[in-house]
């Protein structure tokens, strides 16, 4: 334990965010850093409690509690408190492949389970993690050399999101020759083409990919496996295949008028904006004044985002940066309570209403929270040219059906019509894409995820493994990294008979 009285002496201090008035002017990251002394004080708040739930990563009441990577949080915090950032980085790297990603975008399951947080504010473990890894990059500590010995075994990883990258990293370190196939023009999966630049700058993704390339991992982009290259060809070239293709099939809204011009799914929208940003050397002015998006220009448009989750929030923040006149977010579920209910005790993940950056920006720009809860869209209304001009909505009342499942009744008299030019659908995902699972002949469960035995990664096709969202359904970056690492260990064991990963 770094400082036994630290949690009593120092208050939690999160890294500040650039104020909405400034940050909506561009797509830059908006989290500011603490200086080292302040950061060490934050680490001093760690109580090194006897049972560190923060690193447990266990399921409680169906939700994950603590870090799925089992990061050695109290040990890392102690090293940080003592100013030994090199060792803090080395300790962090024992369990983690890419702290620079989670240090920016993780919802910090560790903090929700922090013992300090049981009675006061939790330790700022996520912010600490980011500062440790950035220190390590700045001081040349992050190395990823070629392995000294090659095993002669070859592995193809399909998909370059966080699960594919973590899997490739560990297999390469073990000496297997890894090729990563990616259907997009650039590697990174949703780190690159989902999460917006203001949350995770794409140059941070490039920095890691460059290191991986230098360590001998080959990246083949713009190759759609199952279309451009057949599974049989991969079986011939490689000893094992790992599917890390994500769970990108979006849930649609099947209301009358769905064919109207101006309705897009969230991820293609976010991808287009990130791609334009990178293609224009991160020149914000060019992006914000661009009119040649597939949706035209967003300037002066009324935007409706269907889905009140994190993806929807990213659409709100992005639409505001593109000059939308109004942004409304429609969510079918009722608003979560502002404080934990007694039925949701610590260290469970707290099911409380959070106001994220996009919503904060909407409040700043339009004077109110963009979210309308307990509401759904029943119709898309078009003008005579087929362009979207409004949506019809209705309020919902949540009830419990006979089978215990939630059902939603329309509330009579709550119908409304909202003028809109663009609708972004962020209503969740339905699992993996059939053309890939069919190409490899792997079994898929009722949720569209690739099936394996519990806690295992080998599919019904012996030499084909799976990891990430394609395995567990749309989830989090930290889970994808954890899955990729575990899948690498399973592949390694299947190749050489044992593993030390």
Ligand X SMILES: Cc1cc2nc3c(=O)[nH]c(=O)nc-3n(C[C@H](O)[C@H](O)[C@H](O)COP(=O)(O)OP(=O)(O)OC[C@H]3O[C@@H](n4cnc5c(N)ncnc54)[C@H](O)[C@@H]3O)c2cc1C
- Taking the complex as a whole, the smallest distance from the CB of residue 350 to ligand SF4 amounts, in Å, to 14
Question: From the CB of 477, what's the least distance to ligand X, in Å?
Answer: 4
Per-residue H/E/C for 224-292? CECCCECHHHHHHHCCEEEECCCCCCECCCCCCCCCCECEEEHHHHHHHHHHHHHHCCCCHHHHHHCCC
* Residue 103: exposure state from Cβ atoms within 10 A (0-12, 13-18, ≥19): buried
Binds ligand SF4 (CB under 6 A): choice among 125, 302, 319, 463 = 125
CA pair distance 136, 87, nearest whole angstrom: 10
| Residue 78 is a binding residue for ligand SF4 (CB under 6 A) | no
Sign of CA dihedral 179, 183, 185, 188: negative
Quick one: which of 163, 203, 156 has its CA closest to 178? 156
Rounded Cα distance, 137 and 93, in Å:
12
Binder among 43, 56, 110, 315 for ligand SF4 (CB under 6 A): 110
436 lines the binding site for ligand X (CB under 6 A) = yes
Instruction: Answer for the pair 376, 396: CB distance below 8 angstroms, yes or no.
Output: yes
* Interface region with ligand SF4, contact rule CB under 6 A, candidates 125-133, 139-147, 213-221, 489-497: 125-133
Other beta carbons within 10 angstroms of residue 155's beta carbon come to: 25
SS3 labels along 451-481: CCCCCCCECCCCCEEECCHHHHCCCCHHHHH
* Binds ligand SF4 by CB under 6 A, chosen from 42, 71, 124, 179: 71
Q: Do residues 43 and 130 touch, judged by C-beta distance below 8 A?
A: no
The answer to whether the bond into 347 is cis (omega within 30° of 0) is yes
User: Applying CB under 6 A, which of residues 54, 424, 476, 491 lies at the interface with ligand X?
Assistant: 476
Token pair 């792997």 is found at 442
Q: Which stretch binds ligand X (CB under 6 A): 38-46, 122-130, 309-317, 342-350?
A: 309-317
- Give the C-alpha separation, 90 to 139, whole Å: 13
Q: Does 181 bind ligand X (CB under 6 A)?
A: yes
Give the angle subtended at the CA of 306 by the CAs of 300 and 307, to the nearest 5°. 130
Count of residues that bind ligand X according to CB under 6 A = 40
Per rule CB under 6 A, is residue 199 in the interface with ligand SF4?
Answer: no
482 binds ligand X (CB under 6 A): no
Reading the block at residue 121, the tokens are: 């504010």
Nearest distance from residue 437's CB to ligand X, in Å?
10
Span from 65-73, 205-213, 327-335, 344-352 in contact with ligand SF4 (CB under 6 A): 65-73
Q: Which of 43, 80, 106, 123 binds ligand SF4 (CB under 6 A)?
A: 106
Q: How far apart are CA 16 and CA 53, in angstroms?
A: 26
Closest approach, Cβ 109 to ligand SF4, in A, equals 4
Binding of ligand X by 224 (CB under 6 A): yes
129 binds, among ligand SF4, ligand X, none (CB under 5 to 8 A by kind): ligand SF4
Binding mask 13-52 for ligand SF4 (x = CB under 6 A): ----------------------------------------
Q: CB of 81: closest distance to ligand X in angstroms?
A: 26
Stretch that binds ligand SF4, among 100-108, 295-303, 376-384, 424-432 (CB under 6 A): 100-108
> Contact between 208 and ligand SF4 (CB under 6 A)?
no
Residue 318 main-chain phi, psi, to 5 deg = -70, -40
Can residue 182 be called a binding residue for ligand X (CB under 6 A)? Answer: yes
133 binds ligand SF4 (CB under 6 A): no
Torsion over CA: 72, 75, 81, 82 (sign): negative
Interface with ligand X, residue 287, by CB under 6 A: no
Q: Which does 163 bind (CB under 5 to 8 A by kind): ligand SF4, ligand X, none?
A: ligand X
d(CA 477, CA 33): 22
Choose the one of ligand X, ligand SF4, none that binds residue 159, judging by a C-beta under 5 to 8 angstroms depending on kind.
Answer: ligand X
314 contacts ligand X (rule: CB under 6 A): yes
Can residue 478 be called a binding residue for ligand SF4 (CB under 6 A)? Answer: yes
**Which residues of this protein are in contact with ligand X, per CB under 6 A?**
105-106, 158-164, 181-184, 189-190, 194-195, 199, 224-226, 244-246, 248, 267, 270, 310-311, 314, 436, 468-470, 474-478, 480
**Which residues of this protein are in contact with ligand SF4, per CB under 6 A?**
67, 69, 71, 73, 102, 106, 108-110, 125-126, 129, 478
């Amino acid at each position: 334990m770094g400082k036994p009285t630290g949690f009593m002496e120092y208050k939690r201090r999160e890294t500040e965010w650039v104020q909405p008035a400034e940050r909506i002017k561009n797509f830059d990251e908006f989290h500011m850093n603490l200086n080292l002394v302040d950061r060490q004080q934050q680490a001093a708040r760690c109580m090194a409690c006897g049972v560190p739930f923060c690193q447990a990563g266990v399921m409680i009441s169906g939700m994950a509690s603590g870090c799925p990577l089992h990061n050695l949080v109290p040990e890392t915090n102690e090293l940080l408190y003592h100013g030994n950032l090199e060792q803090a980085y080395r300790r962090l790297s024992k369990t983690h492949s890419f702290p620079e990603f989670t240090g920016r975008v993780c919802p910090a399951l560790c903090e929700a389970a922090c013992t300090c947080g049981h009675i006061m504010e939790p330790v700022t473990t996520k912010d600490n993690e980011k500062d440790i890894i950035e220190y390590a990059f700045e001081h040349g500590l992050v190395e990823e050399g070629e392995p000294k010995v090659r095993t002669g075994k070859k592995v193809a990883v399909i998909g370059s999101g966080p699960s594919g990258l973590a899997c490739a990293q560990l297999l390469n370190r073990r000496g297997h020759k890894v090729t990563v196939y990616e259907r997009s023009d650039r590697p990174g999966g949703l780190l690159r083409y989902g999460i917006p630049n203001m949350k995770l700058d794409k140059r941070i993704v490039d920095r890691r990919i460059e290191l991986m390339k230098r360590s001998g991992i080959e990246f083949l982009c713009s190759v759609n496996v199952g279309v451009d290259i057949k599974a049989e060809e991969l079986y011939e070239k490689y000893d094992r295949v790992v599917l890390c293709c994500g769970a990108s099939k979006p849930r649609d809204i099947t209301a009358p008028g769905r064919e109207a011009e101006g309705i897009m799914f969230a991820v293609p929208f976010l991808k287009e904006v990130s791609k334009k940003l990178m293609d224009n050397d991160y020149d914000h002015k060019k992006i914000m004044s661009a009119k040649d998006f597939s949706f035209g220009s967003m300037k002066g448009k009324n935007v409706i985002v269907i889905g009140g989750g994190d993806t929807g929030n990213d659409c709100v923040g992005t639409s505001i940066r593109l000059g939308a006149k109004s942004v409304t977010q429609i969510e079918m579920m009722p608003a979560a309570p502002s404080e934990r209910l007694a039925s949701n005790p610590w260290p469970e993940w707290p099911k409380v209403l959070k106001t994220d950056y996009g919503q904060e920006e909407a409040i700043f720009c339009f004077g109110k929270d963009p979210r309308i809860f307990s509401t759904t869209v029943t119709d898309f209304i078009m003008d005579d040219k087929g362009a979207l001009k409004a949506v019809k909505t209705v309020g919902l009342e949540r009830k419990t059906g006979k089978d215990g499942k939630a059902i939603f009744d329309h509330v009579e008299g709550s119908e409304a019509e909202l003028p809109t030019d663009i609708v972004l659908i962020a209503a969740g995902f339905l699992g993996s894409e059939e053309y890939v699972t069919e190409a490899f002949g792997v079994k898929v469960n009722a949720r569209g995820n690739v099936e394996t035995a519990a806690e295992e990664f080998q599919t019904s096709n012996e030499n084909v493994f799976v990891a990430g969202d394609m395995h567990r359904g749309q989830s989090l970056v930290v889970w994808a990294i954890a899955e990729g690492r575990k899948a690498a260990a399973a592949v390694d064991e299947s190749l050489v008979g044992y593993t030390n990963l």
